[in-house]
Structure 1
């Protein structure tokens, strides 16, 4: 089997998470400067087999798309061109940043560590991936 890769897209930084090859465990991989994201993903899939991209879909409480969807749509067009053989699925990402922050508190990270926005993005990507895995079972 190949890995699943989740993306918590942001205009500055993007969190990335992956599964193991058996698609059982979701783990944070890294946070990438968004300008370098396509290059990072192309390099990653040249080294690792990836079956599916899972990209967070930000929605408002009334289920309408958030303003950031405009940026994500442009990114998705680039991703489809750069990696045409890997399908893309979207998953609702509401509350992932809040859950990520709470996870950091529950993990015992101090206040300075919790201000690390890159870590929040990586944890958010992991939560998106875990949600996808959970809904598949």
Structure 2
């Protein structure tokens, strides 16, 4: 079986998570500079068998798209052009950053470690992917 990769897309940074080959467990992979995201994905997908890409879908409380969706749409277009044979799904990402931060607190990370925005993005991508797996 192939892996599923998930993205917590951001203006500056994008958190990335991936499943095991059986698509049972979501694990944080890395956080990359968003400007370098497509290149990173091309390199990663050349080495790994990827069945699907899941991109977080930011929404407001009232279920309308968040203002950051404007940044995600052009990226999705490029993603589809770059990887036409890989299906792309969306997953509601409301509250993932808050849950990621709370997870860090519960794990006992020190204040300095909890300020690491890259780690928050990676954990958020993992939460997006785990939510997607639970939904399936």
Question: How far apart are 1:76 and its partner, in Å?
Answer: 0.3
CA distance in 2, matches of 1:93, 1:104: 18
Displacement of 1:83 in angstroms is 0.8
Residue 92 of structure 1: aligned partner: 92
Alignment of 1:34-113 (within 5 A): 34-113=34-113
Q: Which runs of 5+ in 1 are unaligned?
A: none
Report the alpha carbon displacement of residue 128 of structure 1 after superposing the two structures with TM: 0.2
| Deviation of the 1:100 alpha carbon | 0.2
**Distance in 1 between residues matched to 2:17 and 2:103, nearest whole Å:** 16
Residues 51-73 of structure 1 show CA distances to partners (whole Å, capped at 9, x for unaligned) of 00000000000000010001000
Equivalent position SS for 2:80:
helix
Please tell me the root mean square deviation across aligned C-alpha atoms, in Å.
Answer: 0.4
Cα distance in 1 for residues equivalent to 2:42 and 2:83: 7
Provide structure 2 residue ranges, at least 5 long, that are not aligned to the other structure: none
Aligned residues, how many? 136
**DSSP 3-state at the match of 2:85:** coil
Normalising to structure 2: TM-score of the pair? 0.99
Instruction: Report runs of 4+ in structure 1 exceeding 3 Å deviation.
Output: none
Q: 1:48: Cα distance to partner?
A: 0.1
